[in-house]
Structure 1
C-alpha cells in the first residue's frame, strides 16, 4: 500500500498575501432532520459543541483495481488535522447542489475529475471529534465513483494519500487515526460501492 505525500508549495506561494476573499467567512447550509434548508451559519460556529445540523457531502473514489482512494488531512486543517479519511468530504455553499460541491472539492483538494460519480444516499450523524473538541452534526450526501488520473493534491488540504484494498484498510485502521465520521459514511455507501465496482472487490 504505497502512501504518497502531497508536494509542498514554493516559498513564493507560501509568502503570498491572502486575498480579500480569503478573509470572508465561509457559510454552511443549515438543515432540519429531513434535509430541508432552514438557514445558514458560519463554518466554525456550526461545529462548536453541541453543533448545528448542516449539509455536507462525502466522496469515495476507486481505481481500476477496486482500491479506495484515501487522504490524510493536512496538518493545518482546523478540524481533524492529520487524520485519514475518505477520498474527499466537505460542505456545499448555501444553494449549491451537493453533487456540484462534491465534484468541485475533489478537484480543489486532489486535482481529480472522477470518471464516474453517482449518488449513494444520505446519512445523518452526530460525531464529536475527540482531537479538536468540535462536533459533526451533519446531513451528509454520499457519492461513489471511479477515477483513472493520478492525484495532484493541494498540500494545504491533503498531507498524503493512498489507494487501499479492504484488507489494507483494516490494517491501516489498526495503526493510525481515522476521522470520526469515516466508518459511518463508508458503511452507508457500501451498497452503492458494490454496484459501481462489483461485489468481488470485497467492499
Structure 2
C-alpha cells in the first residue's frame, strides 16, 4: 500500500466465496478424511470476515467464527489448523482471485480503472476495517506479515506491474520507468486518503489523481 512493505487491499472481502448450487458436487475429501462441504466452508469464510471486521485479528477467536457461521469449532479445525492459517488462506484467496488490472487500451484508462477498483474496495465496510487492522497486526505478528506479504502483496503487485508493462509496450512509458516506485504511487495516495485519514473525495478526484500519477511515472 503506501509502501512496498504493506500488502495491497483485497478487492472485496465482503463478498465471500459463493455457495455451490445444489445440483453440483458440493464438497472435497481430505486425504484419508471426511468430505468438506463447500457450503460450510463458504459460511465459515463469510463469518470469518465479519468477525475480523468486528473484533480485529488480535481478539478474533475461532469459537466466535464458528458460532457466527452456525457451525461447530471442529468444522474449522478440519479446514485450518490455526487462526493464523485461516486468516492467511482466506485473505489470500480473496486477494489473489481478483482479476488483474483492466486493459482499456491506454495508460490513462488502465490507471483510472485500477484506481476505481481500489476506491470501490476501500469504501466497502469490511475492507475498510480489515485492511488497516491486518497491516497493524503484521508489525506485532511477524508470521502473519510474512505470509500475507508473500501471498497477497507480491501476487497483487505482480498483477499491477502488467499495467506498466502494457504502457511500455504501447510507447506510453519509457522502458526504464521505475516500476517499483510507480507501483507504490499507484495505490499509496488513494489508500492514505480513504483508509488512513478518511478524507472525503470530490467527484473528479480519481480523474485528477490519474493525471498526477501518469505525470509522475513519466518524470
- TM-score, with length taken from structure 1: 0.28
Whose helix fraction is larger, Structure 1's or Structure 2's?
2
Is the strand fraction higher in 1 or 2? 1
Report the structure number with the largest CA radius of gyration: 2
- The two structures have a TM-score, normalised by structure 2, of 0.26
